[in-house]
Structure formats: structure tokens, C-alpha cells
Structure 1
């Protein structure tokens, strides 16, 4: 395996306050640097500004391009041309950028490209509308109708939706290799039109520094504590989780950590259905404080209604030794294996039944917590990063032979 090569990560943004994929990028970059690689992160800033992580040993370069570049393609391809001479391999961190990296390769670019499939932005205009099957027949009209933008913005985006339908899969199949974060993501992209032989599965990995401190949240009342962490948006299914409280046998404490446009509606649902249970909305919590909520929780619930690829919060729940409840959509069920409970999406009663099963059998709850920590070791950074490095090394060696 080629040991010494330079990795250029091309991403939309690096923002420490915006979601799990940003933490994944930072973890991957830091770990590659620790393994002796030079790593540069180049951001296009199509939808957000950077707010980089502190104390990093990799450099971040902004090459901000306009959203119009998604239509003209050339400014994005130019970024790959610019960094070609100093890059042994490109690591593209957004599926939306992948087709442009493919066009770079199709047009004669010499640096191989590995792309992470961790979302559905290559073809989907609104993930809250995804049902696990719609990607097979998603038309331009569907994209326009599903978009949450206003009518004017939808009209302006319609040429992009045409490109997604007509050329994205063709350009995308010029990318050297993809890695999907779960088997379901590989399946969905293969059904969309990306050659399945180009896609391998390399999952997310846990952050070994996440559980450093003792918890500071008071758990002395002995009530069962249930936790949700993530955006408060429709596709996350938090309404089903809150509604499940009307099915639990005894009152619980539900901690909801995160911000989003669904918060007001969720608070209204809470007033109607929570009964004797307590629901606490904590808003956005910094990552170093987040571990307290996990460590004080008995059960972590990931109630997504869309085929979420592989949420980092599931890893954090396992790492913290929470019993797990996830929905049978996307990569969640695969991620937890046989160590937790899997329920149908959008089913408050089934979530409630799963909580009751843990609540009414303390020994089973403790076994589930133990198995959760053990399952987490399947996603340790050493193994996952080594697989990623081998894939990159193979691409670099193949490019050297070609040149």
C-alpha cells in the first residue's frame, strides 16, 4: 500500500455548528494527518460559510463559487484543475459535487477521485419527501413539486433539476470510486444510476475523544430517560417520538437536543400528548456538552422517517452505552445490528412499545446497554480509516501506473 500521499478534501463547507457530516469531515482529516498524510480541505461554500474546527492540523481553503456554477459546471471543475498538481487523490465530501468531479475526470483530469455518499443531494430536492423508493422514478416535475423553496426559487432551480435528471448520473459514473456509509445508501445510488461496482461500503466511525468527562446532569429521580439528538425537521420523525409518550406504561423524561423549524409544532404536540411524562427541549448544544445528555440517557431513539444514510448520533448513542431504538429505514437498522430495537417509521405506538419493553425488563435494558457499547467497536476509527486509506492508495497506485 502506498503510504505517503496528499489528500485534498473538496467539500461544500466546514462548519462546526452544522450537523454530523461536518464532524465526520474533521475527524477524517485529523486522523489522516495523524497517519502521516498531508491533508488540505477546499470548500466551495455553495450554501453556507465556513466556521472551521479549532486546533486543527490541516488547512482550509475557501474557493467560494456561486450557485450558478452548479449549472455552468466550469467554475467547479476549475477548482479540481487548480489543485491537481498538489493532490495525489481527491476526497469529495458531498454527492452534489461528485458529478462535477466526474466531469473533471471525463475531461482529462489526472488526479483520481473518491467520493463519500452520505446524503442524497445528487438527485433529491427535499429529503423530507423521500420514501425509500421515489429515487427510482424522480422526475424534474417531482423535484420541482417536492422542493421546499418558494415558487421563484423553484423556477430558477429548474435547469439544475433538468441536469440532475439528464447528466448527473453520466458524469457521476466518471468518478473513480465511491464509498457509501451504509449498504442501503449503496443500493439507492445504484438504483439511481451510479455503477454499483464503483461503490464500496465504508461506514462512519466513532470519535474516540467523545466520552472524556463525567456527566453533569442530575439523574437522581430514577425516571427512565429517553434521548433524541439532531435537527428538528420533518424527516427526523420527532413528532412520532413525542406522540409515543401516550403509549408508555410509566412516565419518562424525554430530552430533545437540537434546533430546527419544527420546534414550535413539536412543542404544541407535547402539550397534547405528553401526559405525566416530561419533555425538555434543550436547543443547540455544543459538542463538548452533548456527551452529558448521552451519558445520562437510558435509551437513545433515532425515529427518522426518511432513509437516513448513517447518523453520527447513533454512533454516539452506542458509544455512550444507551439502549437503542431506530426506525427501519436507511442505514439505521444495519448500523445497530442486533443490539437494539427496530420499529417501522412514523409509528408512535411501536416506539412506545419498544420503550415499554426496555422499561419493564431492567435486565434486558442493561444487556442492551452493554451490547450497544460492544457494537460500537465495529466502527472504531483505526479499522475504518485503514479501509479508507487502502481505497485511496489503490487509486493513487493505479493513477501512477497510468501516468
Structure 2
């Protein structure tokens, strides 16, 4: 092993084969550490029956002895989000602790319980804390260094051969926090506005994702007379997802929830979509100057921004 190489114990509650934000980011970061010449051992609770091979050691559901041995081996313990059930043995060893915050500390805003106090204690004993957005740093740990999330740059690309002839797109879980109903209400108002001005009304919305709100959203589409304007595609991955993103002009991210960051914004921009995001949480950090921001929950403001981009 080279003189400058480190033995990095990478902790991630969730990991492949799950494909959510934290799981993908954990794989990207672990790959980057390994590519930089460091020896990486990743611990996770997530089982996997596919037996996928990684460029580093992955241990799943570690027992007590395995957990202690992994910590004894490490020079650095990197927690991709606080992982107390995996990280507690660090108390007994001299490894350097680095924690990357990807979400808010408090489960309920402005309320601190035992779990939150334990997390604050754990952050305080760490050598370095990283927050993925300014909003997360300010709210959770002001001494943190801000480093925005990565995305899969080799996968999310523009495809010049694809015709970009569709208007709006939403990509994400179909739950109330994501505000898909706001996008539907805004599309309905935009359609009425266009009819009033006697302009073409070929505004469409493509919804990619699944979730508990799917039935309610389909019912709302019917109530708003948007059956011919809204398409539900379910979950998409791989080249099909990339091609679909490249067919659209604008990505809508109307989250009601205070998003800690918003990797989906980076993925959309990488595929050539202009993002329109709510002004909550870390979405401002994700979009920067490359898109438009509307007031959280304000349908009229969302309509104004959507109209601005397609007129």
C-alpha cells in the first residue's frame, strides 16, 4: 500500500441494491475513494442477493465481532449520514471520524429528543462534518463544511439525437411532500391562461415515479380535465430514463418538504432540462443560477415561472 493511502471504513445504513439518493451517493463516493488509491471497506445493513462485485469490500448485516474488527482496522471512519448502529465502536479506537450530513437532524422541526441529542454528541466528537447544502449547514451544524452532492455524470448526459419537444417533467416519489399536485394545479391554470390568450395549449406534464399518492394524483388529473395533457410513466431507469429526460424542456421540483439538497435537479440539468424548484431547503443550492425558483406552495408563482420559460 502506498504511503499516502488510507484505510477508510465507509458506513451507509442503506446501499445497493436500493436505488435511492443516499444509496447512489454512497456508491459514488466509495468508488471515488477506491479510485484515489485508498482501501475501502463498506458496512451496511442492506442485504443483497445479486452478489454484485464492487471494487472494495462490502460487508452486510455485520455482527458484533465483525463490527469491532472493521473499526480496529480503519484509519478513517466515514459516515454517509449519521449511522450510530454502525459507528458506535469508534469510541474505543483512535480512527479519524468524518460525517457527511444528507438530511436534517431533528425528525420533527424545532423539537429535540434523545435521538437528536445523541446525534449532536456524535457530530461534536467528529474530526470533520460535511453538509450537502448551506441550508442544511445553517439548520443542523453551523461549523460544517459545505460540499454539494455528486451525481452520475457518466450516465446523465445530453443526447443531441433526441428531439426535445415535450414541455414539463416531474421525477421522484409520488408522495405528498413532493408537491406533484401543485404541478398539476399549475398546469391546469397555465392551460386556462393560454386558452384565454388564444395561444396553443400543447403544454404537457410527464410524471416519472411511483408512490402512495398515485391514485389521488390520477383522480386529480381527471377532475382538472388534464387526461390528454398528463402522462404517468411509472419508474424508469437506465437509458430509458435518460432519453425521457432529454425529450423534455423543463423539470419541475415543487417539493413542499424542505429538501436537504436535490440530486434530481443535477440529473435533470445534466440532461438539458431547465429546473423550476421551490424555495425550500437546499434546492436553492442545487439549482444555483441555472434555473428558476418559486415560493414554496404558491401555485400562482409556479405558473408564472412555467409560463416564463415556454413563452
Specify whether residues 53 and 283 from structure 1 end up closer, same or farther in structure 2 by C-alpha distance, changes over 3 A only. Answer: farther
| d(CA) in 1 for partners of 2:236, 2:276 | 22
Instruction: State which of 109, 121, 129 in structure 2 corresponds to 1:135.
Output: 109
Query: Is 1:231 the equivalent of 2:173?
Result: yes
Give the conservation status (yes or no) of the 8 Å contact 1:113–1:177. Answer: yes
Query: Is 1:94 the equivalent of 2:111?
Result: no
TM-score scaled by length of structure 2: 0.86
Q: In structure 2, the residue corresponding to 1:84 is in which secondary structure?
A: helix
Specify whether residues 189 and 294 from structure 1 end up closer, same or farther in structure 2 by C-alpha distance, changes over 3 A only. Answer: same
Could you tell me which residue of structure 2 aligns to residue 384 of structure 1?
none
Query: Is 1:207 the equivalent of 2:152?
Result: yes
Could you tell me which residue of structure 1 aligns to residue 211 of structure 2?
260
Could you tell me which residue of structure 1 aligns to residue 127 of structure 2?
176
Q: In structure 2, the residue corresponding to 1:167 is in which secondary structure?
A: helix
**342-351 vs 170-179, greater mean Cα deviation:** 170-179
Instruction: State which of 75, 80, 100 in structure 2 corresponds to 1:116.
Output: 100
Task: After TM superposition, list the pairs within 5 Å mapping 1:2-401 onto structure 2.
Answer: 3-45=4-46, 49-50=47-48, 54=52, 56-64=54-62, 81-95=68-82, 97-98=83-84, 101=87, 103-105=88-90, 107-120=91-104, 122-124=105-107, 135-136=109-110, 138=111, 162-190=113-141, 196-197=142-143, 199-211=144-156, 214=159, 222=165, 224-248=166-190, 249=194, 250-275=201-226, 278-360=229-311
**CA deviations over 1:21-70 (Å, ceiling 9, x no partner):** 2111111112222221222211134xxx44779553122111257xxxxx
Count of aligned pairs between the two proteins: 300
Specify whether residues 358 and 280 from structure 1 end up closer, same or farther in structure 2 by C-alpha distance, changes over 3 A only. Answer: same
CA-atom RMSD in angstroms: 2.6
Specify whether residues 166 and 117 from structure 1 end up closer, same or farther in structure 2 by C-alpha distance, changes over 3 A only. Answer: closer
Query: Per residue, is there more helix in 1 or in 2?
Result: 1
| d(CA) in 2 for partners of 1:301, 1:218 | 19
Deviation, structure 1 residue 172: 3.3
**268-277 vs 297-306, greater mean Cα deviation:** 268-277
Q: Which runs of 5+ in 2 are unaligned?
A: 195-200
TM-score scaled by length of structure 1: 0.68
Query: Per residue, is there more strand in 1 or in 2?
Result: 2
Deviation, structure 1 residue 18: 3.2
| d(CA) in 2 for partners of 1:275, 1:288 | 28
**305-314 vs 78-87, greater mean Cα deviation:** 78-87
| d(CA) in 2 for partners of 1:356, 1:213 | 24
Could you tell me which residue of structure 2 aligns to residue 380 of structure 1?
none
Deviation, structure 1 residue 353: 1.5
Deviation, structure 1 residue 92: 0.8
Deviation, structure 1 residue 200: 0.9
Give the conservation status (yes or no) of the 8 Å contact 2:132–2:261. Answer: yes
Could you tell me which residue of structure 1 aligns to residue 197 of structure 2?
none
| d(CA) in 2 for partners of 1:202, 1:119 | 13
